Amino acid sequence: MIISMRLHATREEIDQVCDRIREFGYKVHSIEGEERVVIGAVGVGDVTACLESLEALPGVEKAVRISAPYKFVSREFHPARTQIRVNGHEIGGDRFMVMAGPCSVESETQIMETAKAVAEAGADMLRGGAFKPRTSPYDFQGLEVEGLRLLRKAKEATGLSIITEVMSDGDVDLVSEYADVLQIGARNMQNFSLLKALGRSTRPILLKRGMSSTIKELLMSAEYIVAHGNPNVILCERGIRTFETETRNTCDITAVAVLHELTHLPVVVDPSHATGKRSLVPALARAAVAIGADGLLVEVHPCPEKAISDGAQSLRLPQFRQMMQDLGPYFKLWKEARLAETPAAV
């Protein structure tokens, strides 16, 4: 920790800070500048508590931690990429993972038709919501268990793995019965009760970045899951909230590269929620592959204009097929880059 004292901090205030640092078990290194004093605290201890305590002392301008607040998910402590096995395929390795499907599971016809089409086009997983977080209490809230059953049917028919959302700690066990990967929505990224419950699950988790969450907060939420026992976390950039209104969210595409520097966990991009507009999805998907994301999560619907939710951002089946085809050469470049890096990363 580094503590900057205010300009006219008294000797007494400085001493009080040094004493407090020592009480927490740290060693004190004081730097007396021309204008103000800066104090370093070195050692091992309860950093957060110590920081909060110091910030409340008189004469303190600012107290900041130097070490990252996360351990398990940090690339500094685990340099090789984490590869997460889902039904025989590994995400985070040298296979780019495509997850596609409708926003909501609406009916057997809809989900079966979509599943077959995305499987043929080359997707690895089927997405589809059974429990839906909706801004309005008057909107469709999902088919719930019936939706899970339909997803299982689609899996049996196509061999696709299933990814679907859990919204409450009480539903983790139920959804785990049906899903291969549990998806956590942006609005639940800091639902700590849910994160703890996911730590006790054996399913891989796809954790979406909150729409106003920093990269650091996303990593802290992943750390919650890992620290509670589940090391298999996939991160997802799905756009953040900014002042811009032309798109539904603003895709922080650079976050993919930043996350790959900071963490060993795989990172996927959701170009559907990031843009909110079908016409923009293929372009952003290309950018995601090029920047080195580990996968894509894409909304696809056999008839978007009849979709109960997110129709405007869902690709039609032929559009998805076309996009997969156009992405072909980018997948190839992606794989070459991955194969080239492997030895260095381990």
Contact positions with a copy of itself (CB under 8 A) in 50-79: 52-57, 66-67, 69-70, 76
Nearer to a copy of itself, 43 or 231 (CB): 43
Rule CB under 8 A: choose which of 87, 242, 325, 342 binds a copy of itself.
Answer: 242
Nearer to a copy of itself, 318 or 329 (CB): 329
Q: How far is CA 174 from CA 103, 219, 234, 299, 300, in A?
A: 20, 26, 20, 24, 25
DSSP structure class, residue 189:
T
DSSP structure class, residue 300:
B
- At residue 89, φ and ψ (nearest 5 deg) are -100, 150
Rule CB under 8 A: choose which of 152, 176, 227, 331 binds a copy of itself.
Answer: 227
Nearer to a copy of itself, 159 or 318 (CB): 318
Rule CB under 8 A: choose which of 82, 304, 317, 338 binds a copy of itself.
Answer: 304
Residues 103-132 that bind a copy of itself (CB under 8 A): none
- CA dihedral sign, ordered 204, 209, 53, 73: positive
- If residue 32 lies in a helix (H) or strand (E), which one and from where to where? strand 27-32
Nearer to a copy of itself, 202 or 245 (CB): 245
Residue 221's identity, in one-letter code, is: S
Residue 328, helix vs strand vs coil? helix
Q: In 3D, which of 183, 180, 207, 203 has the Cα closest to residue 125?
A: 180
The rounded Cα 307 to chain-centroid distance in angstroms is: 26
Phi-psi region of 163 (alpha: psi -120 to 50; beta: other; left: phi over 0): beta
Residue 196, helix vs strand vs coil? helix
**Does residue number 168 form part of the binding site for a copy of itself (CB under 8 A)?**
yes
Rule CB under 8 A: choose which of 134, 177, 229, 341 binds a copy of itself.
Answer: 134
Nearer to a copy of itself, 57 or 112 (CB): 57
**Does residue number 344 form part of the binding site for a copy of itself (CB under 8 A)?**
no
**Does residue number 314 form part of the binding site for a copy of itself (CB under 8 A)?**
yes
- CA dihedral sign, ordered 277, 119, 332, 256: positive
Rule CB under 8 A: choose which of 11, 88, 202, 244 binds a copy of itself.
Answer: 244
**Does residue number 170 form part of the binding site for a copy of itself (CB under 8 A)?**
yes
**Does residue number 345 form part of the binding site for a copy of itself (CB under 8 A)?**
no
Q: Least separation, in Å, of the C-beta of 118 and a copy of itself?
A: 18
Residues 179-208 that bind a copy of itself (CB under 8 A): 187-188, 190-195
For the record, the structure tokens of 288 come out as: 């995601």
**Does residue number 280 form part of the binding site for a copy of itself (CB under 8 A)?**
yes
